[in-house]
Amino acid sequence: MNGAIIINKPAGMTSRDVINRLNQILEIKEIGHTGTLDPMATGILVCLVGRATKLSDILTNHDKEYIASFKLGVLTDTLDITGNILKEEKISIDKEKIAEVLKSFIKTYQQEVPIYSAVKVNGKKLYEYARNNINVDLPKREVTIYNIELLSIEDDIVTIKTKVSKGTYIRSLIRDIGISLGTNATLTSLNRTSLGNFNIDDACSIDDILNNKFYLYSVKELLKDYPTEEIDPEMLYKVRNGQILNRKIKDYLLFTVNDKEIALYQKYDKDPDKIKPSVMFY
């Protein structure tokens, strides 16, 4: 079995929990995922099976869309409602001000990574520093917020829909929105509604897997945005030996034999007129 299963992750499970459950149900060890979701979050988790696990880094690069709710006036150590409350105040901000601030975040900016994350600093994960009460300078990453739509405001709870680039922490985005509003803000719920070409309507539940009611996306379907080239035996020899080839492409090129994927090549960074192996499938 090679391909991807799109899971609608329930709240309370880690992404690793979902993979472990799939290992048990499908009796397959080689399963991974793209784009980790926090335990409190729900929504799309792309689970890769067999040779498709080699595509993890490529698929993780895709843009994502979320529906998120956050509480104004509250700050926790984890930046979400599961953490310990550090600050809390009663606050009321009018809809126009919130809409204005949300619009200002449609941009590319340097976002500070949350302390409770798996990002490594000096070989140690940030959450390890947090759990041991060790101060550490938090790294920043360039992220792009493509769109933010205000869905509702109920008392001090704001709900938005947002499309973001890879590497964006919604918890950090909510924190930054709170700061721009002159207060604090903490994530209370999060649902990932799309990842790349996959929509929440494409996702199945763990029960669906148990009942064998799921769709396995093939490697070719996962790479449908990239050109495909059927190759002859001579080219197959070169590809299987990982040779750098003369070819000009935009991003990636999938080589196949008898419609079966053989290798994914990418643009060669040292020469734009050449390509090099990215992922081998045989």
Q: What is the arithmetic mean of pLDDT over 92-97?
A: 90
Q: Which superfamily does 226-280 belong to?
A: PUA domain (2.30.130.10)
Amino acid letter, residue 229:
E
Q: What is the arithmetic mean of pLDDT over 211-224?
A: 91
CATH 3.30.2350.10 maps onto the chain at 3-62+197-220, 64-192
What are the Cα distances from residue 257, in Å, to 27, 55, 134, 263? 29, 19, 54, 10
Residue 75: predicted pLDDT: 96
Residue 83: predicted pLDDT: 93
Residue 60: predicted pLDDT: 80
Q: What is the arithmetic mean of pLDDT over 130-155?
A: 93
Which residue among 17, 38, 208, 251 is the active-site one?
38
| Token code pair at residue 33 | 């995922």
Euclidean distance between CA atoms 21 and 25, whole angstroms: 6
CATH 2.30.130.10 maps onto the chain at 226-280
Amino acid letter, residue 127:
Y
Residues 64-89 have pLDDT tens digits of: 999 999 999 999 999 999 999 999 99
Q: Is a pLDDT exceeding 90 seen at residue 133?
A: no
CATH number for region 3-62+197-220 = 3.30.2350.10
Q: Which pairing describes strands 228-230 and 252-257: parallel, antiparallel, or unpaired? A: parallel
Residue 44 backbone dihedrals phi, psi, to 5 degrees: -65, 125
At CA 124, angle to CA 118 and CA 129, rounded to 5? 80
Residue 62: predicted pLDDT: 86
Chain centroid to Cα 246, Å, comes to 33
Which residues, listed in sequence order, are joined to residue 5 by a DSSP beta bridge?
A: 47
Euclidean distance between CA atoms 104 and 119, whole angstroms: 27
Closest CA to 180 of 260, 278, 74, 105: 105
Residue 207: predicted pLDDT: 95
CATH among 3.30.2350.10, 3.30.70.260, 3.40.50.300, 3.10.180.10 for 64-192: 3.30.2350.10
Kindly indicate the confidence band of residue 96, based on its pLDDT and cuts at 50, 70 and 90.
very high
Per the CB < 8 A criterion, the answer to whether 126 and 149 are in contact is no
Q: Is 232 a catalytic residue?
A: no
Q: What is the arithmetic mean of pLDDT over 158-170?
A: 96
